[in-house]
Amino acid sequence: MSTNQSNIMKQTSGSKRSVYLPVLYVIVIVLPLFLLGCYLYNEKQRFGQFQDFKKDNLQEEDKNKKIDLVKLEVCDVFTGKWVLDNVTHPLYKEDECEFLSEWVACTRNGRPDSKYQKWRWQPRDCSLPRFDAKLLLEKLRGKKLMFIGDSIHYNQWQSMVCMVQSILPSDKKTLSHTAQMSIFNVYNTTISFYWAPFLVESNADPPDKRDGKTEPIIMPQSISKHGENWKDADFLVFNTYIWWTRHSKIKVIKQGSFTNASKESNEVGMYIMYEEVLRTWTTWLEQNIDPNRTSVFFSSMSPTHVRSSDWDVNERVTRKCEKETEPILNMSKSVDVGTNRRLQEIAVNVTKSTTKVHVTFLNVTTMSEFRKDAHTSFYGSRSGRLLTPTQKLDPRTFADCYHWCLPGLPDTWNELLSMYIIHRG
């Protein structure tokens, strides 16, 4: 091969290399960057689902029927009827909620029917948007939602946790407990429960005194100790009812400790003390809550179903709720299942009396009175244990017709609460 031919081949080879160099740069540099970008995008989509929420889901299943946000000022969402809905309900599956306690996991505990999970609340004068966990978490981003009250409110708090947790990756959500609180954290959002069955201080506050076996004693003007834990919340949801219904009078001490309280206490009528406690609570709200930051709610009474004669006049033997699998379907008239209407009236009047802080009254009582089918009955737990076959033979003693299975009725309470949160957000 001549020198000229050799030079020509080298030039040709160098020319080809110069042609392929840009391609190599793309493969070596640009392609990895592209793949890295795709990976980061997917990670953002997976771990930040609620950061890019859209409001497209605030529609009914019927895509041809556009439904606007409910105008809460003109529509009474608490008046309506129960509609069986196998499509949109339940809002979550029991076995998909890793934080659900045994005491309300009725299917897991052997309840054979599931129809109680599939009833949707339909207001008389408007339609509710389908619950959207992403949108609710968007409105709660960077905020604190706190439920304060008794075990019924703990029931509702667990419902709320189950309603939102399923859309979140496991490593981004945590649950922790203290003596007074249960706290669900996700990103920078907190959904918590605070145990205060009377709102004010009582001998039922300590963890070992919550089984109802000790006669309750309260300090009707002592709320600051509890209140210190409520001040930084953005949404406060209160309730107090079940513990008041045990006796017509309640023991009261004005100050001191509960150590020798039974000797130093006075008995005062239930209605007098209920109003006094609620006025202590509203005074605390007016003095400590900034209405520009914090929204306050009060949940009405959660009914019980302990006498079948209340809904079945033909029943020969009065029982509790243990055999109920359907709601009270005749909703054309109210039903009396023993809810204390006088306590309800006091709560309505006191919550209306605030001047600085507005309290939204969540009137879930009537809708819940129709749900004789939704209690835990034999399918909860008592003191951390499931009922034995022998105990199930004694429903008068052991059937729980106070608390509610999950998924179930408390999910509807939270659907309504979430509407208020979304509107105010």
Burial class, 53, CB count within 10 angstroms (exposed 0-12 / middle 13-18 / buried 19+): middle
Cβ contacts of 300 within 8 Å, gap of 6 or more: 239, 241, 344, 347, 361, 362, 363, 364, 365
Q: Which of 202, 403, 411, 418 is catalytic?
A: 403
Please indicate whether residue 125 is annotated as part of the active site.
Answer: no
Q: Which of 205, 373, 400, 411 is catalytic?
A: 400
Using alpha carbons, list the distances in angstroms from residue 214 to 88, 204, 374, 384. 42, 8, 28, 18
Is residue 110 left, alpha or beta, with left meaning phi > 0 and alpha meaning psi from -120 to 50?
left
294, 235 Cβ separation under 8 angstroms: yes
Using alpha carbons, list the distances in angstroms from residue 303 to 62, 115, 336, 337. 33, 20, 10, 7
Please indicate whether residue 403 is annotated as part of the active site.
Answer: yes
Q: Say which residue the tokens 């034995």 belong to.
A: 388
By DSSP bridging, strand 217-219 and strand 249-252 are: parallel
Q: Say which residue the tokens 């069986």 belong to.
A: 84
Please indicate whether residue 411 is annotated as part of the active site.
Answer: no
Give the integer Cα–Cα distance in Å for 227 and 230: 5
Q: Which of 89, 150, 151, 310 is catalytic?
A: 151
Name the residues annotated as catalytic. Answer: 151, 400, 403
